[in-house]
Amino acid sequence: MQYIAPEKISDAVEALSQAKGSVHLLAGGSDLLVRMKGGFIEPDVVVDVKRIKSMGKIKKAGGGFSVGGAVSCAEMGDNDALKKAWPGVVEAAQLIGSDQIQGRCTVVGNMCNASPAADSVPALIAADAQAVIQGPKGERRISVAKFAKGPGQTSLKAKELVEAVELPKRPAKSGDAYLRFIPRTEMDIAVVSAAVSLTLGAKGVVREARVALGAVAPTAKLVPAAAKALIGSKLDDAALEKLAAACAAACAPIDDKRGTIKFRTRVASVLGRRAALIAYERAGGKL
Amino acid sequence: MSMLVSTTVNGDSMEFVCDASETLLDSLRDRMGMTGVKEGCGTGDCGACSIMLDGALVCSCLVLGAEAEGREIETVEGMSDGSKLHPLQQKFLEHAALQCGICTPGFLIAAKALLEKNPDPTETEIRYALAGNLCRCTGYDKIVRAVQDAAKVMNKKGKKA
């Protein structure tokens, strides 16, 4: 195996283009090294992106934030401005594995690994985050909601990498939240998860909303009908009932030992509802 | 592919040669003699191989040796001040917070990282912060008590100074 640690994005793209055999990107390594250890992959070339300066930073960009592809989840938790603007995204990032894992793992890696149960992805989708992709043809952007194509499959083309994920400018009176169900309190993978992002207008009425669910379909998914149920409401019982029904209707989960279809569907509506209430309070809404 | 890596371990400059696919855990143990770093699961679940890498708490089994180039590593070997144990080490002994000892270096490093960030953690905070370290002997209770007691001692010292 060859190990390369370029210092520029252009050199990383070049390395991906030149590499012979199987080439893998290394950011936090909390998925890649486990797959190597288990013998699931045998990379010929590993391209470590952590020496690329632009990928190691959380920057304010266009009124929002740009989180570099090599920024660890622990670093996101240490960034007060990011936490204040996007508490739901940060709490999702800080639910991945242990403190040790968070010292390494990245939300971009979480996204690229494309697990349907990835914790940070529903929160990024609810936040309307954009992935900034670099490749031989230059830069392109894609909504995180459209990034995953299926379990372990992304819309990245050969020789492309995700440089950063961008969180948009946050209007006043906005809030987001992420919740997941696991059968224990720590160190587990979501059986079901839900993320909600809201912006309030006059008198605490929801003006904009985005709702996303995780682990209930082949990819984390945006649920526009659930968002629609919240818009124009103050999260009264009728609106929350509609949201819960929309969340349940959006579920197409697997049936396995970690959760039956019935359980996952039910929990999706419960978590959607609870996440909406937390996001509403964070946005300054009074219930 | 063999690689020559220069790094700093517990303040000392070190050089080693390793295969590009070798984990930092193996480099620390087999090339640099830091056998305080233990291998449990090798997949980031148990925390026995915990180290500090440029100030971040990580599992060394999920880091490549080659990644250590120019970085600063802290292991349990650097925790005591000569023969004077770190308060966490002292309290682990006093509270009998270990039996077989395999998990202990990882717990010490993770607990030290916690107390540096949060000098006066609640029991709940300690339990969450140490969730990435598995111990199959003690049942965790003694470990939590040892960390609480060490925090007390360290805070008292901090106030005196």
- Which CATH number goes with the domain that contains B95? 1.10.150.120
Q: Which domain holds residue B107?
A: 87-160
The predicted pLDDT at position A287 comes to: 87
- CA atoms of A89 and A83, how far apart (whole Å): 8
Based on the domain organization, do B70 and B127 belong to the same domain? no
Based on the domain organization, do B116 and B93 belong to the same domain? yes
- CA atoms of B90 and A86, how far apart (whole Å): 41
Contacts of A150 (CB under 8 A, 6+ apart): A114, A218, A219
- CA atoms of A54 and A164, how far apart (whole Å): 9
Q: Reply yes or no on whether the pLDDT at B158 is more than 80.
A: no
CATH of domain A174-282: 3.30.390.50
Based on the domain organization, do B74 and B6 belong to the same domain? yes
Based on the domain organization, do B50 and B118 belong to the same domain? no
Average pLDDT rounded to a whole number, residues A241-255: 98
Q: Closest residue of A to B5, CA-based?
A: A3
Q: Which of A3, A113, A185 to mutate to test the interface with B (most CBs of B within 10 A)?
A: A3
**What is the count of structural domains for chain B?**
2
User: For residue B58, what is the domain's CATH number?
Assistant: 3.10.20.30
Q: Closest approach of chain B CAs to the CA of A36, in angstroms? A: 9
> SS3 letters for chain B?
CEEEEEEEECCEEEEEEEECCCEHHHHHHHHCCCCCCCCCCCCCCCCCCEEEECCEEEEHHHCEHHHHCCCEEECHHHCCECCECCHHHHHHHHCCCCCCCCCHHHHHHHHHHHHHHCCCCCHHHHHHHCCCCCCCCCCCHHHHHHHHHHHHHHHHHHHHC
Per-residue pLDDT band for B161 (boundaries 50, 70, 90) equals low
DSSP state of A256: B
The predicted pLDDT at position A232 comes to: 98
Q: Reply yes or no on whether the pLDDT at B60 is more than 70.
A: yes
The predicted pLDDT at position A185 comes to: 85
Average pLDDT rounded to a whole number, residues A235-256: 97
Question: Left, alpha or beta for B96 (phi > 0: left; psi -120 to 50: alpha)?
Answer: left
Based on the domain organization, do B122 and B62 belong to the same domain? no
Q: Which of A30, A98, A105, A186 to mutate to test the interface with B (most CBs of B within 10 A)?
A: A98
Q: What class, spelled out in words, does domain A2-167 have in CATH?
A: alpha beta
Average of per-residue pLDDT values in chain A? 97
Report residue A203: phi and psi, to 5°. 55, 30
User: Where do the domains of chain A lie?
Assistant: 2-167, 174-282
Residue A19: list chain B partners with CB under 8 A: none
Burial of B39 (0-12, 13-18, 19+ CB in 10 A): middle
- CA atoms of A256 and A254, how far apart (whole Å): 6
DSSP state of A44: S
- CA atoms of B7 and B60, how far apart (whole Å): 14
Residue A36: list chain B partners with CB under 8 A: 21
The whole-model pTM stands at: 0.96
**Which amino acid, one-letter code, is at B97?**
A
Sign of CA dihedral B103, B109, B110, B114: positive
Average pLDDT rounded to a whole number, residues A162-179: 98
**Helix, strand or coil, per DSSP, at residue A217:** coil
DSSP state of A259: B
The predicted pLDDT at position B160 comes to: 64
Could you read off the pLDDT of A28-38 as tens digits, one per residue? 999 999 999 99
Contacting A with CB below 8 Å, chain B residues are 1, 3, 19-21, 23, 42-45, 47, 50, 53, 56-59, 61-64, 66-67, 69, 110, 113-114, 128-129, 131-133
Is residue B22 within 8 Å of B28, Cβ to Cβ? Answer: no
Q: Closest residue of B to A41, CA-based?
A: B21
Give percent of chain B with pLDDT exceeding 70: 99
Q: Reply yes or no on whether the pLDDT at A192 is more than 60.
A: yes
Residue A100: list chain B partners with CB under 8 A: 44, 47, 50, 57-59, 110, 132
Based on the domain organization, do B122 and B70 belong to the same domain? no
Alpha helices in A103-165 (DSSP H): 107-113, 120-126
Q: Closest approach of chain A CAs to the CA of B32, in angstroms? A: 20
Sign of CA dihedral A150, A151, A153, A155: positive
